Structure 1
């Protein structure tokens, strides 16, 4: 039989598992509130959250008592979650929301810059190719057409009135 102080230490160690579950819950809530696609995949995300929570519980119980599961582990996990949720959850959730906002804005701005650069690059390439075709085909044809026009005019078809 274990001494009471050792059980008490395990109890407090398990409270940290409840706090970790609270942090995971805040990440889950923040991602669900900030991304609309998460609302459509709610069932899958709920399952992922609960599987992750179960893994945290198993890891916590393994780290504390090598899988000797006792009733106070569940009580401690619940107390840890409630302590976290009622004290600092609002602040952590606000920080997570701001981080998500900053990251999504950074990604949006980066994509907008990439799109604007690629649009400008497209116009630069397209107008350069158009200019090259003008130089290669249009200008020589214009010079040849002007030369043919001048030949036609100089062949005697010009009528000059003489003044009397």
Structure 2
């Protein structure tokens, strides 16, 4: 096979690696824009991002040319990233933001619904226990008081008039 064509195929494959780096860059940007705790821990997430990018570069270079690192690998990575960033980055960023906002609203609705169900379940359990205690303690107590009061009172006999 012609070495130029082989190097050209490696160049194009490495461009795809640059595009993948661009996609991960937009994911990182959209996470920082949508979550405050990530923007506060920006340094940690930037280091994590660059570690992931380094692993991706090593995987791409190993897959494409068995670690025969050439200067055009870096050029192809840069070309792939620039192509991605200048063409579809804004659409991918909007899509990422929509997905993140959808997931955030879905999680919020799930949590609110769960809290409402648990609150209603709490009242059902509390009222059932209250009713059970009423049945156990108050009703027999009322019955005993009624029996006690009826047995204490002597029957009052009416006196009849004599001489009628």
* TM bucket normalised to smaller: 0.7 to 0.9
Query: Any gaps of 5 or more consecutive residues in structure 1?
Result: none
Aligned counterpart, 1:109: 109
Q: Deviations over 1:107-152 (max 9, x none)?
A: 2211222211111111111110110110111011112223333444
SS, match of residue 155 in structure 1: coil
Aligned counterpart, 2:126: 126
Aligned counterpart, 2:48: 48
Query: Any gaps of 5 or more consecutive residues in structure 2?
Result: none
Aligned counterpart, 1:68: 68
Aligned counterpart, 1:81: 81
Q: TM-score, normalised to structure 1's length?
A: 0.88
Distance in structure 2 (CA, Å) of the matches to 1:140 and 1:61: 84
SS, match of residue 67 in structure 2: coil
Aligned counterpart, 1:7: 7
Aligned counterpart, 1:32: 32
Aligned counterpart, 1:95: 95
Segments of 4+ moved more than 6 angstroms? none
Deviation, 1:3, is 2.7
Distance in structure 2 (CA, Å) of the matches to 1:144 and 1:138: 10
CA RMSD of aligned residues (A): 2.2
Distance in structure 1 (CA, Å) of the matches to 2:140 and 2:28: 68
Aligned counterpart, 1:143: 143
Q: TM-score, normalised to structure 2's length?
A: 0.88
